[in-house]
Amino acid sequence: MFSQFALHERLLKAVAELKFVEPTPVQAAAIPLALQGRDLRVTAQTGSGKTAAFVLPILNRLMGPAQVRVDIRAVILLPTRELAQQTLKEFERFSQFTFIKSGLITGGEDFKVQAAMLRKVPDVLIGTPGRLLEQLNAGNLDLKKVEVLVLDEADRMLDMGFSEDVERLVGECPNREQTMLFSATTGGAGLRDMIAKVLKDPQHLQLNSVSELASGTRQQIITADHNVHKEQVLNWLLANETYQKAIIFTNTKAMADRLYGRLVAQEYKAFVLHGDKDQKDRKAAIDRLKQGGVKILVATDVAARGLDVDGLDMVINFDMPRSGDDYVHRVGRTGRAGAEGLAISLICHGDWNLMSSIERYLKQKFERRVIKEVKGTYGGPKKVKASGKAVGVKKKKTDAKSDKKKAVAKAPTRRKSANRPKPDALVSQDGLAPLKKRKTPAPAAE
Contact set with ligand AMP (CB under 6 A): 20, 22-24, 27, 46-52, 308, 336-337
CA 10 from centre of chain: 31
- Indicate the residue among 49 and 122 with the shorter CB distance to ligand AMP: 49
Size of the chain in residues? 446
**Own/partner pairs for 28-33, CB < 8 Å, 24+ apart?**
29/53, 29/205, 29/207, 30/54, 30/57, 30/180, 30/205, 31/5, 31/7, 31/56, 31/57, 32/5, 32/6, 33/203, 33/205
- Indicate the residue among 337 and 442 with the shorter CB distance to ligand AMP: 337
Tell me how far, at minimum, the Cβ of 409 lies from ligand AMP, in Å: 47
Strand intervals (E) in 162-279: 178-183, 203-206, 217-223, 245-249, 270-273
- C-beta of residue 230 within 8 angstroms of C-beta of residue 209: no
- Indicate the residue among 122 and 332 with the shorter CB distance to ligand AMP: 332
Signed CA dihedral, 66, 68, 74, 78: sign only:
positive
- Indicate the residue among 5 and 20 with the shorter CB distance to ligand AMP: 20
Tell me how far, at minimum, the Cβ of 158 lies from ligand AMP, in Å: 20
Task: State in Å, rounded, how far the first CA of the chain is from the last one.
Answer: 51
- C-beta of residue 198 within 8 angstroms of C-beta of residue 170: yes
Tell me how far, at minimum, the Cβ of 20 lies from ligand AMP, in Å: 4
- Indicate the residue among 47 and 127 with the shorter CB distance to ligand AMP: 47
Can you tell me whether residue 203 is helix, strand or coil? strand
366: phi then psi, degrees, rounded to nearest 5: -75, 150
Residue 399 and residue 419: Cα distance in Å, rounded?
30
Tell me how far, at minimum, the Cβ of 21 lies from ligand AMP, in Å: 6
Residue 119 and residue 143: Cα distance in Å, rounded?
13
- Indicate the residue among 48 and 219 with the shorter CB distance to ligand AMP: 48
- Indicate the residue among 133 and 247 with the shorter CB distance to ligand AMP: 247
Tell me how far, at minimum, the Cβ of 135 lies from ligand AMP, in Å: 25
Tell me how far, at minimum, the Cβ of 134 lies from ligand AMP, in Å: 26
Tell me how far, at minimum, the Cβ of 161 lies from ligand AMP, in Å: 23
- Indicate the residue among 21 and 66 with the shorter CB distance to ligand AMP: 21
Tell me how far, at minimum, the Cβ of 141 lies from ligand AMP, in Å: 26
- Indicate the residue among 103 and 332 with the shorter CB distance to ligand AMP: 332
Give the type of residue at 275: G
The string over 95-117, giving b where at least 16 C-beta atoms fall within 10 Å of a residue's C-beta and e elsewhere, is beebebbbbbbbbeeeeeebeeb
Tell me how far, at minimum, the Cβ of 16 lies from ligand AMP, in Å: 11
- C-beta of residue 305 within 8 angstroms of C-beta of residue 47: no
